[in-house]
Amino acid sequence: MTETLHDTVVLRSPTASARALVPLPRIHYADRCTLVTDVVATPEQWVRAMFGDVPSAAERFIWRGLLGFRLTRGPSPDTVGGWRVGGRGGDWIRLETSSRSLRAAMLVQAVAGRVTWTTCLHHDRAWSRVVWPPLSAVHRRLVPRVLREADGRLRRGR
């Protein structure tokens, strides 16, 4: 299923190549959002424009408070927005974190005038299967905005 939102295309299922870059034991939830852009930036520049070096108060509330994710506090070349950098390639970067009930990976790919953000989750306990569905609706609404805002930051050189 594909849904178009201005310059953004939200695809409900990630590609097989994206799934191959996510080392979760099983993917219970996945979505993908692509922004068409003329900004030339590395995947790491994109994720730092999206999330910064440390999580914002809103991100801490959602990620730590609601989902229980373990986040780092200080800036580091090995973390972005409190998430651990789990892998890097020439055109991609993968951020990872987990909680007692949920494992998450965010894959950001920057290729040929497009930046794509794929989110994948693995439920370790039933609790996350209850909490995530209502939060996923919020997530799908926020992702295009986060990509557009990062596009603006990169255009301004921030």
Angle CA(6)–CA(8)–CA(13) in degrees, nearest 5? 135
Residue ranges and CATH numbers for the domains of the chain are 2-147 (3.30.530)
123-140 residue pLDDT tens:
999 989 998 999 999 999
65-123 residue pLDDT tens:
888 999 998 899 999 999 999 999 999 999 999 999 999 999 999 998 999 999 999 99
